[in-house]
Amino acid sequence: MRLLFLAVLRRHTGNAVTAERVRDHLEAAGHVCLLKDAFDLESSSEIAHLIKAENLEAALALHLYRGGRLLQGHGIPFGIIFGGTDLNEDVNQREKNEVMGKVLEEARFAVAFTESMKETAQTQWPHARGKIYVQSQGVVTVPNAAFNWNTFLHCSGIKQNADNLHIFLLVCGLRQVKDPLYLVDAFSEWHQEEPNVYMVIVGPEVDPVFTREVKAKVKGTAGVRLLGEMPQEDLHAALKNCFAVVNSSVSEGMSAAILEAMDLEVPVLARHIPGNAAVVKHEVTGLLFSDPQEFVQLAKRLVHDPALEKEIVANGREYVRRCHSWQAERDTYQNLVQNLEGSIRE
């Protein structure tokens, strides 16, 4: 079957990574999957032309508003994958909410990453209750065996002996929704008390204006460093070597960095928001904080309590193995798209 797959493919976003993984699942089942950036196709007529030109039989959209609204009314069956900001932010704007409700009326199925996302969608659009499935994101980590941690520290401007350091990695594209400056002042104060703790923000420059703000802030802040984009295998190796992974986002669908850290047996400290709380159970699979001061308290506790660290790491790894199977994700998407194929034949 020939599929159109619309997603927000701006580089370095979680949606882009998810889209590539789902495409791989579908192509493994023998489908031809034409992956397009929803931002490049803003009109219904462009979609109609593409469907005809490429002889497309069905479609999939990652992000209910940005992708889904473009698939309405073309006469081909389609499914939806919720992105995160559609349910966390767009849903609060009346016009977008109405559009998304109509998209769900036409969609054959919708996929939510968590039960809480499913509940949010069902509350907003009760008519979609029977077509929403929950499939957590699958996790595979591939750390680069040749990665040099000391070189990484040197590139970060950290000159101290690696053995005595506690490095907290905040992995995110530099954009406001990730809120990378949220912990900077509090962390810097802690660093001045304990000079062997550092926070390193690692990620690509997604928003140029915001990036300048982040660079200016970090430049004058003790104990906080900023590094640019890294190849995924190097990033996974850096995660494996650091003391803990941090997430300070305002909104998340499901953070790949959190799941990858758990898979690599690294403790996680995450901001207490719905997307993070869905995968991080406080003091079981990670630690949740509600403000910068609580973050520092919990981070200090983690540094000085090896038993807590060991327990969290073991629970996190087991949780990922149990709930974020790459194979289970593959099976789900292949089965759902097979249903689209079945509806074409009817």
Spell out the domain ranges in the chain.
2-138+325-339, 149-323
Confidence of residue 15 (pLDDT cuts 50, 70, 90): confident
Burial class (CB within 10 angstroms; exposed 0-12, middle 13-18, buried 19+) of 83: buried
Which pLDDT belongs to residue 11?
60
| Lookup: tokens for 313 | 């790491």
Give the global pTM: 0.81
- Range scoring the smallest mean pLDDT among 14-23, 88-97, 178-187: 14-23
Which pLDDT belongs to residue 12?
55
Give the tens place of pLDDT for each residue, 112-141: 998 888 999 999 999 999 999 999 999 989
DSSP E strand boundaries for 45-117 = 58-62, 78-81, 109-112
Closest CA to 35 of 52, 16, 49, 48: 16
- Greatest CA span in the chain, whole angstroms? 69
Task: Say whether pLDDT at 85 is over 70.
Answer: yes
Measured distance CA(55)–CA(132) in Å, rounded: 28
The second-level CATH assignment, the architecture, of 2-138+325-339 is 3-Layer(aba) Sandwich (3.40)
Sort strands 268-271 and 287-289 into parallel, antiparallel or unpaired. parallel
Sign of the alpha-carbon torsion through 72, 55, 41, 337: positive
| CATH superfamily membership of 149-323 | Glycogen Phosphorylase B; (3.40.50.2000)
2-138+325-339 matches 149-323 in fold: yes
Give the tens place of pLDDT for each residue, 221-239: 999 999 999 998 999 999 9
204: helix, strand or coil: coil
Decide: 64 and 86 in contact? Cβ < 8 Å: yes
